[in-house]
Structures are given as C-alpha cells and as structure tokens.
C-alpha cells in the first residue's frame, strides 16, 4: 500500500494513514444532495469525515462487521463496510 493512489477506505490497511479525497461523487453532483447517498454523505461529514482530513483504520471486525476508524487527531468511530466503500482516500507517504 505505497504510492499516492486513491483507494476506497475499505481497501486501506490497518495502521496506514491517509487523507480523505471525497465521499462517493456527491461533491460533484448537486442533484445527489437529496438522495439517500447525499444524506449518507452529509451524515459522514457531520461525524468528521471531511475532505483533506487525515483518516486511519484502527481495527477491522470479523465476518463483514464495521471498521473502527480515526479521523482527525481524536475522533474515533465505527462505520459499516458499505459506508467505508464510499469514502475515497489518498494514502499518505
């Protein structure tokens, strides 16, 4: 997991620091604002998952369970794998 490529959060290995690039393509399409995807994007942003913010996977649950992540310096939360798949990140060197 080296380089500067964009991957989904679900692909990020535990302990690797990355920066949030975008949540799905909501930022590029205003029409999505009132859809379920748009509301999910707003909820993730309210929890602190913001563009250019550092993010790290701390732990993965077994059997397809949630990811334990840290965003910013101190905010830790658990998110579903389906939600993590929508968060695009850039691995930091």
- The per-residue pLDDT for range 11-59, each reduced to its tens digit, is 999 999 999 999 876 545 445 556 777 788 888 989 999 999 999 999 9
Q: Please state, in angstroms and rounded to a whole number, the distance separating the CA atoms of residues 33 and 93.
A: 33
Output 78 or 5, whichever has higher pLDDT. 78
- Structural domains in the chain? 6-91 (2.30.30.90)
pLDDT at 42: 85
The kind and range of the H/E element at 58 are: strand 54-60
Cβ atoms 21, 89 nearer than 8 A? yes
Q: How far is CA 3 from the centre of its chain?
A: 18
> Average pLDDT for residues 55-80, to the nearest whole number?
94
Say whether 21 sits in a helix, a strand or coil. Answer: strand
pLDDT at 33: 56
Cβ atoms 59, 16 nearer than 8 A? no
Q: What is the pTM of this model?
A: 0.83
């Amino acid at each position: 997991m080296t380089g500067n490529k964009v991957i989904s959060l679900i692909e990020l290995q535990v302990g690797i620091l990355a920066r949030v690039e975008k949540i799905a393509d909501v930022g590029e399409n205003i029409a999505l604002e009132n859809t379920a995807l748009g509301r999910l994007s707003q909820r993730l942003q309210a929890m602190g998952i913001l563009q250019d913010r550092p993010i790290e996977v701390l732990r993965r649950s077994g059997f397809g369970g949630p990811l334990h992540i840290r965003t910013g310096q101190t905010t830790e939360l658990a998110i579903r794998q389906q939600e993590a798949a929508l968060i695009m990140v850039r691995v930091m060197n």
